């Protein structure tokens, strides 16, 4: 297996308890909730090597999953998205209400849109999700 090749278990379609006909019933907030977890797991997995202390893992992961980074990642992905994916983003942006005080409302909307897209693709098209995630610059920085 090459370095960039996914393990066979990840290449197989994920068996989810959600039927494709149920996806339109999910709110953008539910998709963002799922997308947040999927994205964090992806980032955590990417930063496992080289091995380091838990504190250093945490610091690197938080830098990538915070709203500002997600907003930036969304901007990088926009030119690569289909009309259906752009619609998922629009739904996520429109559903973003309430935000932490420290955040600009636009950054929060973009981060929620990013998470909505991740959740939507996790359910509907995992290979496409992997394709888009591979475009993100997630090179771990060495721990100080």
pLDDT tens track for 75-88 = 999 999 999 999 99
SS3 content of the chain, % helix, strand, coil (to 5): 65, 0, 35
Question: What is the CATH superfamily name and number for domain 26-135?
Answer: Ribonuclease III domain (1.10.1520.10)
Catalytic residues: 36
Q: What string of DSSP letters covers 16-62?
A: -S--GGGGGGS-HHHHHHHHHHHHHHHHHHHT-SS---HHHHHHHHH
Q: How far apart are CA 112 and CA 97, in angstroms?
A: 9
Give the angle 130-135-136 at the CA atoms, nearest 5°.
100
Residue whose C-alpha is closest to residue 74's, from 98, 122, 108: 108
Whether residue 8 is predicted with pLDDT greater than 90 in this model: the reply is no
Please provide the average confidence, as pLDDT, over all residues in the chain.
85
Domain boundaries, the chain: 26-135
Distance CA 98, CA 108 (A): 9
What confidence tens digit (pLDDT) does each residue in 18-70 have? Answer: 777 888 899 999 999 999 999 999 999 998 888 888 888 889 989 899 999 99
């Amino acid at each position: 297996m090459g370095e960039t090749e996914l393990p066979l278990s990840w290449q197989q379609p994920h068996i989810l308890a959600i039927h494709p006909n149920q996806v339109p019933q999910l709110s953008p907030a539910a998709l963002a909730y799922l997308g947040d977890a999927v994205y964090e797991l992806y980032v955590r997995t990417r930063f496992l090597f080289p091995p380091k202390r838990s504190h250093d893992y945490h610091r690197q992961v938080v830098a990538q999953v915070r709203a500002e980074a997600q907003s930036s990642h969304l901007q990088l992905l926009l030119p690569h998205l289909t009309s259906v994916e752009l619609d998922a983003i629009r739904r996520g942006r429109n559903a973003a209400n309430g935000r932490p005080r420290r955040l600009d409302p636009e950054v929060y909307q973009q981060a929620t849109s990013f998470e909505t897209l991740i959740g939507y693709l996790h359910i509907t098209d995992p290979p496409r999700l992997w394709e888009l995630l591979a475009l993100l610059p997630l090179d771990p920085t060495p721990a100080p």
